[in-house]
Amino acid sequence: MRKESSHKGWNEIKTNDSWAIFKIMGEFVSGYEKLSEIGPCVSIFGSARTKSDHPNYKLTEEIAKKIVESGYGVITGGGPGIMEAGNKGAHLAGGTSVGLNIDLPFEQHDNPYIDRDKNLNFDYFFVRKVMFVKYSQGFVVMPGGFGTLDELFEAITLIQTDKIAKFPIILVGTDFWTGLLDWVKVTLLSKYANISEGDLDLISIVDTPQEVIDILNSFYKEFNLAPNF
């Protein structure tokens, strides 16, 4: 009886997995349809835990404003903290403000600065990450936690392996990011040769909004604005 019950459970799991494909397809179709109309955008990543009175919140807001003033829209994860600051800056500057939401422990609701018609909700992390990568002309990465690092290293990996077109990856905050990048250069590159020197060419560390804009503008003087794959 126990074996029979266990076998039945596995059959139910397989059935549920099969039907989940349609839900996944629906998220991809909805995301592609909405985001294909937004125009050139830059994604801003960072901690959902950053409070509105923190210097990084204010800095993100200023960066987002400058991004909009330079002709781009802004995409964030749609939640609080750095994401809210990015959407707020884009909203106040009158630009496109996109939120790609997902239910997380520190990201329970969307922020109020997302354009109503550009507020998307996802159940699957991997679908959401595809949208970030496909429709962003650059990543601006503020101080954050594991989720921020996940987005950062996924983008680097996809560019490294030629799965997507190259785009600028801009780390904001010398104090926060220098130690990580030094470890990558010393340990991954020099000591173990696990990466190539060229893999780091598109990664920049800056501290000011104007530096962010200078890198974006310099890159797109040479390359066309288009989806990344």
> What is the residue-level pLDDT of the chain in tens, covering all 229 positions?
445 555 556 666 666 788 889 999 999 999 999 999 999 999 999 999 999 999 999 999 999 999 999 999 999 999 999 999 999 999 999 999 999 999 776 666 899 999 999 999 999 999 999 999 999 999 999 999 999 999 999 999 999 999 999 999 999 999 999 999 999 999 999 999 999 999 999 899 999 999 999 999 999 998 877 777 7
Decide if 22 is inside a domain: yes
| 120 bridge partner residues | 100
Domain count along the chain: 1
CATH code for position 168: 3.40.50.450
Decide if 12 is inside a domain: yes
pTM (2 decimals)? Answer: 0.91
* 101 neighbors 79 (Cβ within 8 angstroms): yes
Residue 195 and residue 187: Cα distance in Å, rounded?
Answer: 10
Query: How distant is the alpha carbon of residue 23 from its chain centre?
Result: 22
| Domain membership of residue 60 as a residue range | 2-220
Backbone angles phi, psi at 7, to 5 degrees: -65, -40
Angle at 131 between CA 177 and CA 182, to 5 degrees: 15
pLDDT for residue 1: 46
Decide if 225 is inside a domain: no
Dihedral angle over CA of 187, 160, 45, 215, nearest 10: 100
* 96 neighbors 73 (Cβ within 8 angstroms): yes
